[in-house]
């Protein structure tokens, strides 16, 4: 089953948008998952400048690229997060920042609504992002967190996201939440609870990124099968786990990326522990026909090497086509 392979621009936003388009096109990518930071996609300008979206589409066309998905990971992180602090100030546009934490959350929610509007203008059907979480800081369960406190976290998520999803539905765009530590859904059971919290609204689905699953010892291929009707987008990012020496653990000890003392690290796609072939066979099984986006993250490899290498690796898996008939059909005498 052949699906378009795109490059996520989030880790390339220090480069001008047109330069990323040129590189992606030269390497053979078919499109971009465009990040809403750097000059790649500025939501306020897209809504205020009548020619802004047209110019973006012209640049994409110049390099024979398309867009199916845009990302607002940095902005949507602040929607439900508690606390709001200097980490958020470092990733949010200054126009969304306030010393009032609740105002930051409201600003992020409004910006996410506007992201749906811009996606519709671009002709993109999906916005990939985060949710943030008011209860992630309780994950260690000490000091003890009551069930009422946990339940309230999911209620808070629903209260904040339902109005956002109203706008997504008006615009005909879907929100694909990336299941990820620090979010309201970060593993199997929290994903179930998240979907329940919003009544399984069709406008809210999942961005499947296996890199966050392997170090949590989750089965990324099984996740595809379990949530078959909610896999709205695919990000291909890899991770390498190096636990077993009695010192390195999955929480990675506040060590910097690529520090050899870490228990795991993100690595270029195809160089880690993700069972990629199992995952692509699972995607074929559920009939996923959307874009496959390469998300390059590897603190130990130059991205100009990693991005084209990952494309070549994923292209072979993406070309696996289920047979028209069962292989044992030839055994029949009839």
Task: Please tell me the distance from the alpha carbon of residue 139 to that of residue 145, in angstroms, as a whole number.
Answer: 9
Q: For residues 300 and 16, is the Cβ–Cβ distance under 8 A?
A: no
Summarize pLDDT for 61-97 with one digit per residue, the tens: 999 999 999 999 999 999 999 999 999 999 999 999 9
Summarize pLDDT for 123-159 with one digit per residue, the tens: 999 999 999 999 999 999 999 999 999 999 999 999 9
Reported confidence tier of residue 2, pLDDT bands at 50, 70, 90: confident
Least confident of 53-67, 93-107, 292-306, 319-333: 319-333
Summarize pLDDT for 264-295 with one digit per residue, the tens: 999 999 999 999 999 999 999 999 999 999 99
Q: What's residue 328's pLDDT? A: 67
pTM for the model: 0.96
Summarize pLDDT for 159-212 with one digit per residue, the tens: 999 999 999 999 999 999 999 999 999 999 999 999 999 999 999 999 999 999
Task: Please tell me the distance from the alpha carbon of residue 3 to that of residue 10, in angstroms, as a whole number.
Answer: 21
In this predicted structure, the answer to whether residue 331 has a pLDDT above a threshold of 80 is no
- Ramachandran angles phi, psi of 131, nearest 5°: -120, -25
Q: Which residues pair with 266 in a beta bridge?
A: 239
In this predicted structure, the answer to whether residue 10 has a pLDDT above a threshold of 60 is yes
Q: Count the helices and strands in the chain (H runs, E runs).
A: 12, 10
Question: What average pLDDT is seen over the chain?
Answer: 96
What percentage of the chain has pLDDT greater than the value 70?
Answer: 98
Helices (H), 66-187: 73-76, 86-91, 101-122, 147-171
In this predicted structure, the answer to whether residue 116 has a pLDDT above a threshold of 60 is yes
52, 58, 59, 62: CA torsion to nearest 10: -170
Q: What is the mean pLDDT of residues 221-241?
A: 98
Task: Please tell me the distance from the alpha carbon of residue 176 to that of residue 231, in angstroms, as a whole number.
Answer: 8
Residues 6+ apart with CB under 8 A from 270: 238, 276, 309, 310, 313, 314
- Cα–Cα nearest to 235, from 211, 215, 262, 218: 211
* Cα angle value 84/127/22 (rounded, 5°): 105
């Amino acid at each position: 089953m052949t699906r378009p392979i795109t490059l996520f621009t989030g880790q390339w936003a220090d480069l001008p948008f047109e330069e990323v388009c040129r590189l992606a096109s030269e390497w053979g990518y078919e499109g971009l998952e465009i990040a809403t930071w750097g000059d790649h996609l500025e939501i306020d300008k897209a809504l205020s400048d009548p020619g802004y979206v047209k110019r973006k589409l012209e640049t994409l066309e110049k390099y024979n690229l398309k867009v199916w998905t845009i990302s607002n990971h940095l902005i949507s992180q602040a929607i439900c997060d508690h606390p709001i602090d200097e980490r958020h100030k470092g990733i949010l546009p200054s126009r969304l920042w306030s010393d009032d934490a609740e105002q930051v959350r409201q600003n992020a929610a409004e910006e996410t609504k506007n992201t749906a509007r811009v996606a519709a203008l671009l002709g993109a059907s999906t916005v990939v992002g985060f949710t943030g979480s008011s209860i992630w800081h309780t994950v260690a369960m000490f000091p003890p967190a009551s069930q009422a406190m946990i339940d309230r976290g999911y209620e808070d998520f629903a209260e904040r996201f339902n109005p956002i999803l109203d706008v997504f539905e008006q615009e005909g765009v879907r929100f694909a939440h990336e299941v990820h530590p620090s979010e309201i859904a970060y593993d199997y059971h929290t994903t179930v609870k998240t979907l329940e919290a919003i009544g399984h609204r069709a406008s809210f689905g999942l961005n499947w990124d296996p890199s966050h699953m392997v170090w949590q010892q989750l089965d990324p291929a099984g996740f595809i099968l379990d949530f078959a009707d909610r896999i709205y987008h695919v990000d291909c990012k890899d991770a390498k786990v190096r636990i077993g020496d009695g010192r390195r653990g999955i929480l990675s000890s506040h060590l910097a990326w690529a520090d050899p003392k870490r228990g795991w690290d993100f690595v270029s796609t195809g160089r880690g522990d993700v069972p990629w072939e199992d995952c692509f066979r699972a995607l074929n099984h559920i009939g996923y026909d959307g874009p496959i986006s390469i998300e390059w993250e590897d603190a130990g490899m130059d991205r100009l090497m990693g991005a084209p290498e990952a494309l070549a690796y994923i292209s072979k898996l993406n070309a696996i086509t289920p047979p028209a008939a069962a292989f044992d059909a030839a055994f029949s005498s009839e």
